[in-house]
């Protein structure tokens, strides 16, 4: 936390002017006479002197709590403030009642004022301005704690998001490598094409370290994934890819859309005649809507969803808290995953 004398000074000046200077003028019988009184040279000198001493009250209490708040008990800090205040009251008496009277012939109190009255009157102001310093410190400390907690929360969210992202990419690459392994012994030409597609995906995954990417790049990786899956099968899967709206200059979190397609291939019926895998992407000025529909393979009904969509749900909660819509629904052997995010 910053030791902020500048802001403390602003607090003090405003308080001092309002309470002790402007307040006296307003409470006077005649404002014009009060202004004339406060503009006299010796009154200006006393006002400055008093202001400096009062500021030292505020500064001492602020400084003591700033340095020892977490190091010493609360009562010991108050004791230190009282000792400083006594010293400052003595300094004020030396300046105003001894030096000023000796040099200029005037002081701030009448000559016949008793020492007990002088001390009592001064400690009234000690209480006010030391309290101002303590209040300022705890206000600053509270603000600092809130900012630090927010930073810690953001950092924890960033770390959690990075972890989820790191789980998603290897999961996808593991499946892709298995596909290529199956092709090596069956069709070397297809295997070479698959390796080329995989190299593009690896470059996208490993060398693109940005948290967001262009929507066109994400769509390109979806096409690469579809090509890899199509190469693996003798009969090409039935897929419908529909994109509506302008995709240029739109940024999305990396690997946000691909898990939908991966899930459809992993758990869907790839050669369904009644319900092909449908990938629909709609973009308008303010939102992106993404819907993937597939027929559920009978042998895979108990495995619909999986790590990819679970991670995606957690990522969305971190990336778009209370700003996204995410729905997964299985009905009559049809699985529908739908996402809507702001742009």
Backbone angles phi, psi at 292, to 5 degrees: -125, 125
Q: What's the Rg (C-alpha) of the chain?
A: 37
Query: What proportion of the chain, given as a percentage, has pLDDT over 90?
Result: 23
Task: Report how far residue 38's alpha carbon sits from residue 27's, in angstroms, rounded to the nearest whole number.
Answer: 13
For residue 105, CA distances in Å to 48, 99, 117 come to 17, 9, 22
- β-strands 239-244, 251-253: how paired? unpaired
The candidate with the shortest Cα–Cα distance to 38, out of 26, 53, 52, 56, is 26
Angle in degrees, CA 39, 23, 34, rounded to 5: 35
pTM over 0.75: no
Average pLDDT (75-86) is 91
Point out the least confidently predicted range of 30-34, 104-108, 247-251. 30-34
Pick the CATH number of 188-342 from 3.30.565.10, 3.40.50.150, 3.40.718.10, 2.60.120.10: 3.30.565.10
Average pLDDT (223-239) is 80
Does 326 score more than 70 pLDDT?
A: yes
Does 305 score more than 90 pLDDT?
A: no
Task: Report how far residue 288's alpha carbon sits from residue 311's, in angstroms, rounded to the nearest whole number.
Answer: 20
Residue 155 has a pLDDT of 58
Does 197 score more than 70 pLDDT?
A: yes
Backbone angles phi, psi at 43, to 5 degrees: -70, -40
The candidate with the shortest Cα–Cα distance to 136, out of 20, 268, 5, 260, is 5
Task: Report how far residue 167's alpha carbon sits from residue 307's, in angstroms, rounded to the nearest whole number.
Answer: 9
Point out the least confidently predicted range of 60-64, 156-160, 292-296. 156-160
Point out the least confidently predicted range of 82-86, 181-185, 193-197, 307-311. 307-311
Backbone angles phi, psi at 283, to 5 degrees: -125, 130
Q: What rounded mean pLDDT belongs to the chain?
A: 81
Does 31 score more than 70 pLDDT?
A: no
Domain positions in the chain are: 5-150, 188-342
Average pLDDT (60-85) is 89
Report which of residues 283 and 19 the model is more confident about: 283
């Amino acid at each position: 936390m910053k030791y902020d004398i500048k802001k403390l000074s602003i607090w003090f000046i405003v308080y001092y002017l309002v309470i002790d200077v402007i307040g006296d003028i307003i409470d006077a019988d005649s404002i014009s006479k009060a202004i004339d009184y406060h503009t006299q040279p010796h009154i200006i000198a006393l006002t400055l002197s008093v202001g400096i001493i009062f500021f030292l009250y505020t500064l001492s209490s602020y400084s003591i709590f700033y340095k020892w708040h977490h190091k010493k008990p609360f009562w010991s800090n108050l004791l230190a403030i009282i000792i400083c205040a006594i010293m400052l009251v003595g300094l004020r008496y030396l300046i105003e009642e001894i030096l000023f009277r000796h040099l200029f012939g005037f002081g701030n109190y009448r000559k016949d004022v008793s020492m007990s009255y002088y001390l009592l009157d001064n400690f009234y102001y000690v209480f006010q301005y030391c309290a101002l310093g303590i209040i300022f410190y705890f206000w600053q400390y509270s603000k600092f704690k809130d900012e630090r907690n927010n930073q810690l929360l953001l950092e924890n969210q960033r770390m959690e998001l990075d972890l989820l992202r790191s789980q998603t990419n290897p999961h996808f690459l593991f499946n892709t490598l298995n596909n290529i392994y199956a092709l090596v012994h069956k069709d070397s030409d297809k295997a070479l094409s698959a390796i080329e597609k995989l190299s593009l995906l690896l470059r996208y995954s490993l060398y693109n370290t940005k948290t967001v990417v262009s929507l066109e790049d994400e769509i390109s990786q979806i096409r690469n994934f579809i090509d890899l899956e199509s190469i693996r099968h003798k009969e090409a899967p039935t897929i419908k890819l529909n994109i509506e709206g302008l995709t240029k200059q739109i940024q999305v979190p990396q690997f946000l859309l691909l898990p939908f397609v991966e899930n459809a291939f992993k758990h869907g019926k790839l050669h369904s005649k009644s319900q092909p895998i449908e990938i629909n992407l709609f973009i308008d000025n303010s939102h992106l809507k993404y819907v993937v529909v597939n027929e559920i393979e009978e042998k895979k009904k108990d495995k619909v969803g999986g790590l990819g969509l679970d991670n995606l749900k957690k990522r969305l909660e971190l990336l778009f808290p209370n700003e996204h819509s995410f729905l997964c629904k299985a009905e009559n052997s049809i699985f529908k995953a739908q996402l809507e995010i702001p742009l």
